[in-house]
Amino acid sequence: MFWSQLIYLPSMMLSGMMVPTEILPEVMMRVARLLPATYAMDAFKGMAMGGNAGYDPVWAAVILFAGCILSFGMALYLFSWDSQNPTRRIRLLALLALIPYVLGAVLLPLGERIDLLNAVTGCL
């Protein structure tokens, strides 16, 4: 589905799975913060793998937890038993599930940017 791919594909490129988020432009680092995978990678790096997330990684865990609660809550609220007679609720309310990620994108500080080319050539 289109909306599934809209979350999945940017997560692959921007969340830090393939390349560090620190090499992205500042705008793209903010956009990456709209994705749950970014917070997961930051939390893994900062709390489980002994790295540095650029901010207190506990906030990443808090955002993921809040996102979970809101997502399931909105799914329950907007659930309909039958597509022929769906519940009369505005389905755009589903976007409320993204509030924790939006707040994270706006409020959390960005990490220090690195130049990947220099970093890689320095390693070689």
Q: Is 20 in the site for other proteins (CB under 8 A)?
A: yes
- Exactly one of 24, 29, 97, 105 binds other proteins (CB under 8 A); that residue is 97
Q: Is 28 in the site for other proteins (CB under 8 A)?
A: no
How far lies 15's CA from each of 31, 88, 105, 121, 123, in Å? 9, 36, 12, 23, 23
Cα–Cα distance, 68 to 63 (Å, whole number): 9
Among all chains, which residue has been given the structure tokens 């917070």?
39
Q: How far is the CB of 59 from other proteins (least distance, A)?
A: 12
- Exactly one of 14, 32, 41, 108 binds other proteins (CB under 8 A); that residue is 41
Contact between residue 103 and residue 11 where contact means Cβ atoms under 8 Å apart: no
Which positions from 46 through 85 interact with other proteins, judged by CB under 8 A? Answer: 47-51, 61, 64-65, 67-72, 74-76, 78-83
Q: Is 117 in the site for other proteins (CB under 8 A)?
A: no
